[in-house]
Structure 1
Amino acid sequence: MTGYSINGIQQVGIGVENATEAWKWYRKAFGMNVPIFEDRAEAKLMTRYTSGKVHSRHAILAMNMQGGGGFEIWQYESKKPQKADFELDFRNLGILAVKIRCRQIEDCFNHLKKIGSEILTEPCKDPLGVSHFFIKDPFGNTFELRENSSWFSQSEALTGGVCGVTIGTSSIDQSLSLYQNLLQHPHQLLDQTGSWEDLPTQKLDSASFRRVFLQNNQSPTGAFGKLLCQNQIELLEYQGDKGVPVFENRDWGDLGFIHVCFDVNQMDELKSKSQNMNMAFTVDSQNNFDMGEAAGRFSYLEDPDGTLIEFVETYRVPIFKKLGLYFKLKENQKPLPNIMVKALGLNRVKD
């Protein structure tokens, strides 16, 4: 392999008040029941985004073994996490919604309604003809459930993991090179402007948005490319006075979607290209960085509106924690055999 590869969305970071409570709900709602790590430590490298202070945190990376990205459920332990002091809507800038894959939209809708989700839209078709709907979780975060054909395995869970994100941007034209080129989502499935009945924008009185759907390549790359599956990035640009960033006057790690993280190979190559595109890393752990049982190298950069993009190159992942078994990964690794990836499910939490 030459150059770097973006292997898919590894996880979306979600700032919460109580990580244990939030994870329990996400297991029930989305089948996020396989912990890759659970760790308590100080976020020493993130002071750029935590008001110059080192804060302690409790973090859980949980996956759904049917396929897709996971959740990094993130809780401050050294301060009270802050919520936005304004009502968030789709005019804001940043991660506005997380896309979750499902097979049968009506079954998924009935399940999430039954467990008390706030229903934002009824099931309908999006501009690509895909059935979907939006909800809010008990913590105020917006999720889009959408039928999807890219899966790793099948279980009793009604959903898989993350299949994409919706990101509010002040100018899609300024952001497109980052998401399409650097993040290797070359396929543009839609670029249209108008009023959209399928979005949860009822309070905005027929507001107009430009929507661009980007998709990565189908062929999996990286050790866990098969598990992460195919994903989409939806860029949303409000055609009016732009809203403020979702984390305006708040820290990374406060309540809400704090970053979207991509699994990568060849971090140095990615760093070099990002610098050449004037999108330099703002954080880089440089070498091996432990997250409890897992280890790797991580870095961050900002999109033109300050939305945080994380990259992780994984070096070690626990297979079966009770026996101390781990995957030790090398650079340029091809997708692991399915049976090895499925071994991660040995750590599944059953409620």
Structure 2
Amino acid sequence: MKKNICGIQQVGVGVKDVDEAWKWYRSAFGMDINVFEDIATAKLMLPYTDGKERDRHAALAMNMEGGGGFEIWQHTNINPKAPCFDVKLGDTGIFINKMKCRDVQRAYRKHKEQKFTILGELSKDPAGNEHYYLKDPYNNIFEVVEESNYYKKQKSVTGGVAGVVIGVSDMENAMRVYADILQYNEVIYDESGCFTDFVELPGGKEKYRRVLLKHEPRTGPFGKLLGPTQIELVQAIDRKPRKIFENRIWGELGYIHLCFDIQGMEYLQNECAEKGFPFTVNSADSFDMGSAAGHFSYIADPDGTLIEFVETHKLPIIEKLGWFMKLKGRNPKKSLPNWMVNTLAFNRIKD
């Protein structure tokens, strides 16, 4: 078996109050499936938590429309800090979370009706795709992007995570991770200059090089649900970027990591080491995330942005009945039957 990257499982979002933030994400993006929720201690992230174990409350929320989820993450033994400076486009780290949407104009109208903070008007990216940006109450920026692929139509105006915008200091160096290891090897555009669709973003009137990357169709147990995604790399041309997590630890406020659902962890570990990006965290045989279990690891891109890999072994369907979805030992490239994936909807939260 070789490595198999199945898709973006989730983007970690550091917040001060999981319950409050999750309610907003259900309202805005339909992230109402409770894949797991757990209160415990993060014991293995010591390289990124000042060498100390940290108590936390975490939940994985998804949308049955398809796309990746949010790992909504709250420190419970410290007061998590916001960035120590005004973050702008091109500062290194995850700056924007992309949300998939079948009808961008409809979503734009709905989000305006809900009086959310929308940054600018509907606009088009360099490839001519309609999109718009909005901000949650916690200063995180989201981009609603066109995506016709969906798993199961829902009432929400968007699906789940369709990708991210990441600030990098050196485009070619960053591509060693994103285009090579993560296999986002299809360049949709690679352009430099000032961009009209960036104008309303922090630092959006400056000059940037932006590269939009996509991938070939993914396979794997949850491949259909996670669907196609994109990564946009942004490099500031006229200034030296700062690290978004400068003087802060993992799990504090903002986008804390990008996580991929994968198969073949040992093969991936060998490849990452050979290519100069060794695992910095490795749960080895297994981890327990409440009722979920699996194997996780981390690498850092050349600027220190954290990439997580998760090989899921078990997920709860109806925990009270002891009904779990067991994934270990299955064909790593074969999709789970739809009926099995659909059981995730048993854990829908209704407001």
Assess same fold via TM > 0.5.
yes
- Runs of 4+ aligned structure 1 residues displaced above 4 Å come to 200-203
Matched, 1:328 2:326: yes
Determine the structure 2 residue equivalent to 1:155: 154
Instruction: Indicate conservation of the 8 Å contact 1:279/1:302, yes or no.
Output: yes
1:231 to 226, 229, 232: 229
2:197 alignment counterpart: 198
Matched residue SS, 1:28 = helix
Secondary structure of 2:27's partner? helix
1:348 maps to 2:348: yes
Partner AA of 1:340 in structure 2: M
The match for 1:127 is 126
| Distance change (3 Å), C-alpha of 1:18 and 1:60 | same
How many angstroms apart in 2 are the aligned matches of 1:343 and 1:66? 14
1:187-266 aligned within 5 A: 187-201=186-200, 204=203, 206-218=205-217, 220-266=218-264
C-alpha displacement of 1:203: 5.6
CA deviation vs aligned residue, 1:119-148 (integer Å, no higher than 9, x gap)? 112111111111100011001100000111
One-letter code aligned to 1:317: L
Contact 1:66/1:161 (<8 A) preserved: yes
TM-score (norm 1): 0.97
Q: TM-score, normalised by structure 2?
A: 0.97
Alignment match, 1:175: 174
Instruction: For residue 204 of structure 1, report the CA deviation from its aligned partner.
Output: 3.7
Cα deviations across residues 292-351 of structure 1 (Å, max 9, x unaligned)?
A: 111111000100000000000000011123322111112443111112111111111111
In the other structure, the counterpart of 2:50 is: 51
Aligned length: 349
Aligned-CA RMSD value: 1.2
Q: Tell me the SS of whatever aligns to 1:143.
A: strand
Alignment-derived partner of residue 316 in structure 1: 314
> Does 1:10 find its partner at 2:9?
yes
Q: Provide closer, same or farther for how the CA distance between residues 131 and 115 of structure 1 changes in structure 2, counting only shifts above 3 A.
A: same
Is the 8 Å Cα contact of residues 84 and 247 (structure 2) preserved in structure 1?
no
- Decide whether aligned partners of structure 1 residues 122 and 287 sit closer, same or farther in structure 2, where only a CA change above 3 A counts: same
The alpha-carbon deviation at position 200 of structure 1 amounts to 4.4
> Which residue of the partner structure matches residue 40 of structure 2?
41
Aligned mates of 1:160, 1:144 — CA distance in 2: 12
Gaps of 5+ in 2: none
Q: Which amino acid aligns with 1:103?
A: R
What is the CA–CA distance in structure 2 between the aligned matches of 1:285 and 1:204, rounded to whole Å? Answer: 38
CA displacement 1:243-301 (0-9 Å, x = unmatched): 21110000000000000000000000000000000100100000110001111110001
Q: Distance in 2 between matches of 1:324 and 1:200?
A: 51
**Could you tell me the percent identity over the aligned residues?**
47
What is the CA deviation profile of residues 169-221 of structure 1, one whole-angstrom value per residue up to 9, with x for unaligned ones?
A: 00111110210110111211111111111124566473111111111212x31
SS of alignment partner, residue 159 of structure 1: coil
Which amino acid in the other structure matches residue 265 of structure 1? Q
> Tell me, what secondary structure is at the counterpart of 2:196?
coil
Q: How far apart are the structure 2 equivalents of 1:62 and 1:125?
A: 29
Residue 338 of structure 2 corresponds to which residue in structure 1?
A: 338
Aligned to 1:291: 289
Instruction: Look up the SS of the partner of 2:213 in the other structure.
Output: strand
What amino acid sits opposite 2:341 in the alignment?
V
C-alpha distance in 2 between matches for 1:306 and 1:202? 23
State the alpha-carbon separation in 1 of the partners of residues 24 and 299 from structure 2: 30
Residues in 2 aligned to 1:239 and 1:150: alpha-carbon distance in whole angstroms: 34
SS at match of 1:100: strand
Structure 1 residues not aligned, in runs of 5+: none
Alpha-carbon distance change, 202 to 141 in structure 1, aligned in 2, over 3 angstroms: closer
